[in-house]
Structure 1
Amino acid sequence: MSLAAPRSTPTRDLRTKGLSTNSVGLLASVVLGVSSIAPVYALTATLGPTVTEVGLQMPAVFLAGFLPMLLVAYAYRELNRVAPDCGTSFTWTTKAFNPYVGWLCGWGALLATIIVLSNLAGVAVSFFYLLLGELTGSESVAALGDDRLVNVLTCVAFVALATWITYRGVEVTKRVQYVLVGFQLVVLAVFAVTALVKAGSAPGSIPFEASWLDPTAITSFSAFTAGLSLSIFIYWGWDTCLTVNEETAGSARTPGRAALLTMVVIIVTYLGVAIAVQMYAGVGGEGTGLGNPETEDNVFAALAGPVMGPGLAFLLFLAVVASSASSLQTTFLPPTRTLLAMATYGAVPKRLADVHPRYLTPSTATLVAGVGTAVVYVGMTLISENVLIDTIYALGLMICFYYGLTAYACVWYFRRELRRSARDLVFKGVLPLAGALMLTAVFVQTAVDTLDPAYGSGSSVLGIGSVFVIGIGLLLLGAVLMVAWRARHPEFFRGETLRTDTPSLVFDE
């Protein structure tokens, strides 16, 4: 026997869920990951706010935000190799730490996805009517998205359609995504190239400088973490590759590889578009400048006509609709699989573990996620636009929370292997720990900053910023629900359904 090549044995207490197997290959996994990230939607929503925070260093912040995501992706890859379970973060943190940490991590992941789903539906509705207005030449049609009743009804219809497609199975989902993802990436490429060509003659255009890629040029740490929180949000969603691991061919290795490939595609796309747009529009506060407060929440709507011309502007509107609609559909995959796993192991009601006998999808969990998304969006819209805005800002806290916990789980789970080889030390220890520490720093700094009522929409509760109240409040609500569930169903928390363990090692002959 040789002690030079230790490897972990797969954990033995994971349960099969009855999902369709070998339905997703490497390409399909990457497409699902890119779709969940929704690059066109993410860029139009964050280019302006990021420039407001860090100015010309916007590309540098995008680059900086990529680093912790990449490091955490290595943690997901290593954990998936020994525990390919669709519960991902919930399952892995339970096995690494204990059922309480696992339950809260699953809660954080569910919160993030449901909030994003509601926001994606809202963006899809807004750009749907902007597209119709562009095609019909009618300003009144374009303005329908601002009508609260029309907006809510259309949003519910979009959510219902996305729920239905997801309910029909991952095969239907991936076929739809090949078309939608391919289209939005092609339009983004055309937009970026056109912006570069026109940059020299456009009002407000500025020449490229290498310093744009230097994050140390940002003098304020608060501004840096605010920008970093936004950039972390635009990378969020790659873990969809992992949540369909039980449905993927080569479930132990393919999802991890797909996650890393997804990150490479996205960083190339983001940096290319960010630099092109900044060269074309500049960072000024007027006109098409990226710092214009009147257009910062929807940059592509302001730049579509000037960059692509009236004849092709509709393509960018259509790309945003395709991006948000495709992401709306694929982002249903993580919460439904998380709920399925939590129900399978007794952490939530067993009914959520139902799998459709024909479509082999988590049927009840999919319907619950669809209804929950619609209820959250309608509720936030009817209460106040400020609540909707602040909930989106609070996403950074939730993302850092459960991604960070998962990265820490990797280090702790493999702690006995870290001295076995240089590879184990780097990929199971150093890289995940670095990513976890970065996300923890962003979480803490963002939590401190959001105490200020000026953060987000500017609203407050008892003098405390609404973003903090929503973000931390929803996470604490999870603790209350966890205690209530344990009082009635303690089996999961006693480790009877999913045990806490450290992998045993075998050695290659």
Structure 2
Amino acid sequence: MNSTTNTSKLSTEPVTKTGKGLTAGQIGLFTAIVIGVSTIAPSYVVASTLGPTAEAVGTHLPAIFIVGFIPMFLVALGYRELNRAMPDNGTTFTWVWRAFGPRAGWMGGWGMLAANIIVLSNLAGVAVDFFYLFLGQAFGRPELADLATNPWINVATCLVFMLGATWISVRGLHAASIVQYLLVGLQVLVLLWFTFAAFAKAGPAVEFSAEWFNPMGIDSFSAMAVGLSLSIFAFWGWDVCLTMNEETKNGERTAGVAAGFTAVAVLAIYLLTSVAATVFAGVGTEGLGLANPETIGNVFASLAGPVMGPAAILLSLATLASCAASLQSTMISPARSMLSMGHHGALPPAFTRIHPKFGTPAFSTIVAAVISTAFYALMRFVSTNVLNDTILALGMMICFYYGVTAFACVWYFRRTLRASLRNLITRGIAPLLGGIALLAVFVQTVIDSLDPDYGSGTHVAGMGLVFVVGVGILILGAVFLIGARNRRPRFYDTRPETRYVRQDLEQG
């Protein structure tokens, strides 16, 4: 039955697992945290963003990671409140719909889907690079690493990785978690090894200073906006824990705790690795410097050997494992978001199809994989630095849909803010400040990315490729909204909630 036939009932009774066909209680807190960390993929993030971030903010890498964590933490408080009131794996789509109405819900859901699908392509691309780098190191043939530069071989290998990740994802969270334990454990251990080795071998490149933790030392707001966009991307992914809330044990509480713990643990990893890499290599544009244009998109490729010696191959393997783990776990979010959108009537009924054996949204998973592969293939042939450009475009998408969700939290709970100090902070002040910060970064990034030299310098019709991809995707979502409104009027005739109906939470 289409759930939009009774919006009042939906507002007071969260949709059960049987309503969507998912299997309840598959995973516990520890597994949810592991999947959350794997989705963020700290090894992959450090390899791909440390260089561009150092180029933007210099030695203030720790500061920008901390500043980037703050709006994410503030928004996370709002996410937790929304998840308690409306536990639904549609997350942003469902919550923005209930607060602002179906059109806003669609755009919020569209932004979330776009971000997830873009990052799937990015993850696959980094996995390809490290796969051939690993082969070159393993067989002592550096020319094997050059195979990743051939676009046809690159895209074909990307397709193989995507097929493997899709196959595991379709088999369910339990099967996926077994793979995640090994891959996440490997990358965390090797990152710690790299960190301590870099500290031990640190030379005269840069002398450590507490000033690195001072965000006021960053030259301009434009530089800070670039750094924040990359930093926000670096933390992005913790909300996958909430998209699994209908499949976890004690769903509401477990998902919220897992999301918070994941974000804090990853912050610690970033601070350690960024300081270690800076004191070892510096932030220069030559040699091992983190901002060297030749290695800026993959700092581990140049630092692994000097830091870890013969064990450098482990860093390549760990980053490959990080990408593979995140590629598989990231599919959880768009697949379940599309399932929810189909369940509530915003997408065609086909997206509600559940695998008869594994109880997973197989159709939605396959659709996400196909679109991601196509997007990656297009960007690989268009962009001169596909990984850097997609990361910057991703930052725009993340700021957009996280910000919309934060504002939805404030508006949805507006009538309860004066009930207690806790309500005022967690449902009002915190998400509002987080949303404003993300909105500021989004606007500044849009303005800066208009410059044809922004990102890789690739441009279309005189505009930077990052702007074309980021803003173009949002415009495309608005165009699809028009078509969806005509095809599925029952959903788009629903009205937003005007009051908070869960009295037990209101009094909490």
Cα distance in 1 between the residues matched to 2:387 and 2:55: 20
Cα offset for 1:267? 0.5
Q: TM-score, normalised by structure 1?
A: 0.94
Is structure 2 residue 395 aligned with structure 1 residue 396?
yes
| Larger fraction in helix | 2
Say if 1:211 and 1:383 are closer, same or farther in 2 by CA, change over 3 A. closer
Alignment of 1:289-308 (within 5 A): 289-308=289-308
Report the counterpart of residue 158 of structure 1 in structure 2. Answer: 161
Is structure 2 residue 9 aligned with structure 1 residue 12?
no
Q: After superposition, what is the alpha-carbon deviation per residue over 1:437-494, rounded to whole angstroms, capped at 9, x for unaligned?
A: 1000101111111111111122333322222122111101101101111112111101
Matched to 2:429, the amino acid is V
Say if 1:388 and 1:197 are closer, same or farther in 2 by CA, change over 3 A. closer
Report the counterpart of residue 4 of structure 2 in structure 1. Answer: none
2:419 partner SS: coil
Q: Which moved more, 1:462-471 or 1:257-266?
A: 462-471
Matched to 2:327, the amino acid is L
Matched to 1:349, the amino acid is P
Report the counterpart of residue 174 of structure 2 in structure 1. Answer: 171
1:177 partner SS: helix
Match of 1:123 among 119, 126, 130: 126
Q: After superposition, what is the alpha-carbon deviation per residue over 1:300-353, rounded to whole angstroms, capped at 9, x for unaligned?
A: 1100000000x2000000011000110000000000001000000111111010
Report the counterpart of residue 185 of structure 1 in structure 2. Answer: 188
Q: After superposition, what is the alpha-carbon deviation per residue over 1:218-258, rounded to whole angstroms, capped at 9, x for unaligned?
A: 12111111111111111111111011110011111111111
Alignment of 1:73-152 (within 5 A): 73-152=76-155
Alignment of 1:95-494 (within 5 A): 95-199=98-202, 202=203, 204-309=204-309, 311-385=310-384, 389-494=388-493
Cα distance in 2 between the residues matched to 1:138 and 1:208: 37
1:355/1:364 contact within 8 Å kept: yes
Q: After superposition, what is the alpha-carbon deviation per residue over 1:56-87, rounded to whole angstroms, capped at 9, x for unaligned?
A: 11111111111111111111111000111000
Cα offset for 1:18? 1.2
Cα distance in 1 between the residues matched to 2:66 and 2:471: 27
2:59 partner SS: helix
Q: After superposition, what is the alpha-carbon deviation per residue over 1:378-411, rounded to whole angstroms, capped at 9, x for unaligned?
A: 2222344456653332111110000001111111
Gaps of at least 5 residues in structure 2 are 1-9
Say if 1:389 and 1:132 are closer, same or farther in 2 by CA, change over 3 A. same
Cα distance in 1 between the residues matched to 2:198 and 2:116: 33
Cα distance in 1 between the residues matched to 2:46 and 2:14: 41
Cα distance in 2 between the residues matched to 1:57 and 1:174: 36
Report the counterpart of residue 3 of structure 1 in structure 2. Answer: none
Cα distance in 2 between the residues matched to 1:263 and 1:336: 22
2:119/2:390 contact within 8 Å kept: no
2:70/2:434 contact within 8 Å kept: yes
Report the counterpart of residue 503 of structure 1 in structure 2. Answer: 500
Cα distance in 2 between the residues matched to 1:49 and 1:464: 20
Cα distance in 2 between the residues matched to 1:143 and 1:95: 50
Cα offset for 1:370? 1.4
1:96/1:502 contact within 8 Å kept: no
Cα distance in 2 between the residues matched to 1:143 and 1:77: 45
Cα distance in 1 between the residues matched to 2:165 and 2:258: 23
Is structure 2 residue 51 aligned with structure 1 residue 52?
no
Count of matched residue positions in the alignment of Structure 1 and Structure 2: 495
Cα distance in 1 between the residues matched to 2:361 and 2:227: 36
1:10/1:82 contact within 8 Å kept: no
1:99/1:500 contact within 8 Å kept: no
Matched to 2:71, the amino acid is P
Q: After superposition, what is the alpha-carbon deviation per residue over 1:88-113, rounded to whole angstroms, capped at 9, x for unaligned?
A: 00000000110000000000011111
1:10/1:81 contact within 8 Å kept: no
1:253 partner SS: helix
Extract structure 1 runs of 4+ deviating beyond 4 A: 386-389
Cα distance in 2 between the residues matched to 1:368 and 1:250: 30
Q: Which moved more, 1:452-461 or 1:52-61?
A: 452-461
Cα offset for 1:265? 0.3
2:297/2:387 contact within 8 Å kept: no
Matched to 1:504, the amino acid is V
Q: After superposition, what is the alpha-carbon deviation per residue over 1:122-152, rounded to whole angstroms, capped at 9, x for unaligned?
A: 1101101100110100012221111222211
Say if 1:196 and 1:389 are closer, same or farther in 2 by CA, change over 3 A. closer
Cα distance in 1 between the residues matched to 2:33 and 2:270: 16
Cα distance in 1 between the residues matched to 2:250 and 2:108: 26
Cα offset for 1:505? 4.7
Q: Once superposed, what is the RMSD of the aligned Cα atoms? A: 1.6
Report the counterpart of residue 7 of structure 2 in structure 1. Answer: none
Cα distance in 2 between the residues matched to 1:388 and 1:286: 21
Cα distance in 1 between the residues matched to 2:247 and 2:34: 15
Cα distance in 2 between the residues matched to 1:398 and 1:146: 27
